[in-house]
Amino acid sequence: MNALKAELKEVDALISAHPLASQRTRAAHAIVDKRQSRDATEVDKELAADGLPSVKQLGKVQASGTWSWWKLHRRKMKLEKKIDSALPR
């Protein structure tokens, strides 16, 4: 059980360090999400003014990081399930 908890802690650290979890990426996504029907150029200007990645850069991060992000979260869910099933009832 301790090995499972240690592995879960490691996976949580990997998720926290993942590019999709970065504060800059999250802040940029928040701006893009609230854009409503604004022009993409206008959104890019707002992102640049805040020192955040452009829409194009966000797309690259999303495309390159989605698979590993999914795998980490899947691994986390499996570990949590194993830990839960190992607890005494």
Amino acid identity of residue 28, one-letter, is A
Q: What is the pLDDT of residues 11-63, one digit of tens each?
A: 999 999 999 999 999 999 999 998 877 788 899 999 999 999 999 999 999 99
pTM for the model: 0.83
Q: How far apart are CA 8 and CA 1, in angstroms?
A: 11
Q: What is the pLDDT of residue 87?
A: 86
With a cut of 90, say whether residue 66 has pLDDT above it. yes
The C-alpha torsion from 27 through 74 and 72 to 35, rounded to 10°, is: -20
Q: Is 53 exposed, middle or buried (0-12, 13-18, 19+ CB in 10 A)?
A: buried
Q: What is the pLDDT of residue 75?
A: 98
